[in-house]
Amino acid sequence: MDLSDSEKRDLIKLIESNKPLPDQYRFRIFEKSDEIELLWNGKSNEVTNVNLPFQIIEYVDEPRKNIKPELQGNLFDERGRKLKGANKLIWGNNSLVLSSLINGSLRNWIEEQGGLKLVYIDPPFNVGDDFEFDIEIGNQTLSKKRNALEQLAFSDTWGKGSDSFLSMIYERIKLIYNLLDANSSFFIHSDHRLSSCLKLICDEIFGEKNFRNEIIWHYRTYQGQVANYFPRKHDSILFYIKGKPKFSLLKDSNYKNNIDYQRWKNYIVNENEIRGDNYPKTDSRFSVFLNKFKKENPNTPIDKEVILYKLEGFTVDSVWDLKAVDPKSKDRLGYPTQKPEQLIERIIDSATSEEDLVADFFCGSGTTLAVAEKLNRKWIGCDLGKFAIHTSRKRLIQIQRDKEMNGEHFRPFEVLNLGKYQREFFFKDYLFKERKIKNEQSEEHYYDLILKAYKAKKETNFITMQGTKNNRAVAIGPFNLQVTRMFVEAVINECLQQKILAVDILGFEFEMGLFPNIRDVAAKQGVDLNCLYIPNDIFDKRAVKKHQIIFYNTAFIDAQIITKKDEFCVKLKGYVVFDSDTLFDEALSELDKGEKREILMKNSIIKVEKDKNGKIKKQVIKMIWNDWVDYWSVNFDFENKKEIIKDGDKDKWTGDFIFENEWQSFRTRDTEIEFETPFRKIVKGKKIAVKVVDIFGNDTMKILQL
């Protein structure tokens, strides 16, 4: 330190009196090579450092429809074969996902793929974007909002304005840097609000010398009239490298959307010839091209078709003039921030080769993953939104189908989450470490937490139940296990002993095949049984305080096996969303004057409005069951694939099975859902799993016995 004795004494006095140090001393006290650094309120060098096991909830391998099911295992059949390995579509908080990829067993899988060569992210930089969009249900339209977990994450991201966003993205970029291969590329998408801040953050993490480009994406969309600034018609994409990655300088030969193409096309006098004096001498690029063409093709007539066919294009520079996704296009998936595939294609093409691994940890509607799949790259995608994961899944299955139809090879993918283990992490690390709660107190704290969020009153005179609400008992399932039939039967028995007529059972997960039979069992004994899912965001005390916790009702699938001779098919006959009257009453009680709300209950849309005088207006719109179904799929041999996780160095069976997505039908703009599978050979004794995903991304499963 280059400080005089008097300066040292002054600094000691300031420290002893707990006063801030003058900024002039910052770079004189602390030795640091980077003298330019972005500071903000809440900046921290700490990053998430956990290793949570991933849970495989689905394995998607689109079958080849042109091959009979019994021939699927034919090793010599090479028509559209699936490739080895499976890509990863992960639902969860990306800081936990990134940390677990860095520290967990999937790190070995990443290394086996040659390392992570490219990451592109498009974080939620739009402060005003509440991610609300419309969903069509029959001839009705509903507004789709992010679920409570996503809304809270978004409010955390922007709760303190730019400061909280920068804290979020700073940690994510540091984690991404640690996960990237030694020779790799990183692209981050932003707009005018934060691109300058992101540049300084990336300079700090990647090093200023590893900055390569600020790419300007110029899009042409309608801008209306503005008075105080030039119309904002571009985003920025920052390009950084780590080590010495592959890079290919691209040529732009797509002149259909290119200014030069249209301008040069006008220079062509007629269909048969081009005269050299018919284009401006100032257009040197066209002049060079035309002279080169004449020299290399002395015997070729210079007509319009030849010129348009032979245009070579020019090196792609840092300004990309590409159209945004048309709101009316069939490619539009409802996401306000959806990017065009051509944009992502340029990035992947320039920075990777076929079979390289790429990732997007804010994958949204799955554009990066879709382009990677089409370009024969391996991929990892992650998003906090369950609906985003569902949208991406449909999009990727459609690409599998297209490849199958064209006889191209394709790679299956897995849908994973951290949901089951995030709860264990909460109790193990948050309760015991952060809150200093002893093991014997954790169960009581857990019940108190759930009861408070559910707005129930705590009771101590029950054995299997913990509270009451609106004349209904409340039972809470274990935090680290499924709610089993045995647990539900014990609750029903206690209700009969205590002469309780109605009970709500809350659980994170329910034993598959439990519904609707268990409700019928309870009803025959005079007990009104209602089961609700506890959302993951139950552990966010801010969400509980703001009454943002929603307990989702379990749905009912009506599916049937139809047989003829030695074949069978599965038919989807109904889907019912169960909602209780108490949920409706609570929604009404929480309405503010002038507020409107749409509530789903018993296959109806109930539109509620409280006017300025506090009077409530209600409109009930009856729907048919298949309006709610967005997607359904079948696993014809459900208990065939066990879920195995790493427990230290050993493999451990979790007790669950992986849903193998062997057949599916889903809604698109161009197609309707099929509600019956093709017939296939009967194999006795198999369990068949039917999964339904509704228009909001919520999934339900039912087990059938063949």
pLDDT in tens, 166-177: 888 999 999 999
Residue-level pLDDT at 653: 82
Mean pLDDT of 358-377: 95
What pLDDT digit, counting tens, does each position of 203-248 carry?
999 999 999 999 999 987 666 677 788 888 899 999 999 999 999 8
Examine the pLDDT at 278 and tell me if it is beyond 80: no
Most confident of 256-270, 293-307, 367-381, 641-655: 367-381
Banded model confidence at residue 31, pLDDT cuts 50, 70, 90: low
Examine the pLDDT at 440 and tell me if it is beyond 70: no
Residue-level pLDDT at 224: 67
Q: Which residue has the higher pLDDT, 149 or 554?
A: 554
Q: Decide if 42 contacts 365 (C-beta within 8 A).
A: no
Lowest-pLDDT choice from 497-506, 604-613, 637-646, 672-681 = 604-613
Q: Where are the domains of the chain?
A: 1-31, 55-68+85-131+158-245+318-420, 255-315, 445-552, 554-705
| Angle subtended at Cα 304 by Cα 301 and Cα 309, rounded to the nearest 5 degrees | 90
User: Considering only CA atoms, which of 661, 601, 672 is closest in space to residue 630?
Assistant: 672
What pLDDT digit, counting tens, does each position of 38-84 carry?
888 888 888 888 888 888 888 998 654 444 443 333 333 333 345 56
Alpha helices in 455-546 (DSSP H): 485-497, 517-524, 541-545
In whole angstroms, give the CA distance from residue 243 to residue 24: 34
What pLDDT digit, counting tens, does each position of 632-669 carry?
999 999 888 888 776 777 888 877 788 899 999 998 87
Secondary-structure percent of the chain, ordered helix, strand, coil, rounded to 5: 35, 25, 40
Pick the CATH number of 55-68+85-131+158-245+318-420 from 3.40.50.150, 3.20.20.70, 3.40.50.10190, 3.40.630.30: 3.40.50.150
Q: Which residue has the higher pLDDT, 314 or 414?
A: 414
In whole angstroms, give the CA distance from residue 240 to residue 304: 41
Mean pLDDT of 606-622: 78
Mean pLDDT of 528-548: 70
Residue-level pLDDT at 468: 96
Residue-level pLDDT at 335: 66
User: Considering only CA atoms, which of 561, 550, 477 is closest in space to residue 518?
Assistant: 477
User: Considering only CA atoms, which of 173, 174, 154 is closest in space to residue 164?
Assistant: 154
User: Considering only CA atoms, which of 636, 661, 642 is closest in space to residue 414?
Assistant: 661
Banded model confidence at residue 350, pLDDT cuts 50, 70, 90: very high
Token pair, residue 59, equals: 């394995």
In whole angstroms, give the CA distance from residue 681 to residue 165: 55
Q: Decide if 392 contacts 373 (C-beta within 8 A).
A: no
User: Considering only CA atoms, which of 187, 155, 167, 160 is closest in space to residue 38?
Assistant: 167
Mean pLDDT of the chain: 78
Banded model confidence at residue 385, pLDDT cuts 50, 70, 90: confident
What pLDDT digit, counting tens, does each position of 94-137 carry?
998 999 999 988 999 999 999 999 999 999 865 444 455 555 55
Examine the pLDDT at 274 and tell me if it is beyond 50: no
Banded model confidence at residue 325, pLDDT cuts 50, 70, 90: confident
Token pair, residue 35, equals: 């003298």
In whole angstroms, give the CA distance from residue 176 to residue 186: 9
Tell me how long the chain is: 706
Identify any residues that bridge with 380 across adjacent strands, giving them in sequence order: 88, 359
Pairing type for strands 184-190 and 234-242 reads antiparallel
Q: Does domain 445-552 have CATH number 3.40.1350?
A: yes
Residue-level pLDDT at 425: 62
Residue-level pLDDT at 128: 46
Residue-level pLDDT at 571: 96
Mean pLDDT of 309-334: 71
Most confident of 46-55, 287-296, 301-310, 505-514: 46-55
Residue-level pLDDT at 169: 93
Q: Decide if 572 contacts 683 (C-beta within 8 A).
A: no
- Say what the pTM is: 0.75
Q: Which residue has the higher pLDDT, 605 or 580?
A: 605
Residue-level pLDDT at 160: 61
Cis peptide leading into residue 516 (ω within 30°)? yes
Examine the pLDDT at 453 and tell me if it is beyond 90: no
Residue-level pLDDT at 337: 73
**Are both 55-68+85-131+158-245+318-420 and 445-552 of the same fold?**
no
Q: What percent of the chain has pLDDT over 70?
A: 68
Q: Decide if 663 contacts 631 (C-beta within 8 A).
A: no
Q: State the residue for tokens 């990727």.
A: 396
In whole angstroms, give the CA distance from residue 652 to residue 498: 41
Q: Decide if 166 contacts 38 (C-beta within 8 A).
A: yes
Examine the pLDDT at 256 and tell me if it is beyond 50: no
Q: Which residue has the higher pLDDT, 158 or 383?
A: 383
Residue-level pLDDT at 277: 46
Residue-level pLDDT at 422: 60
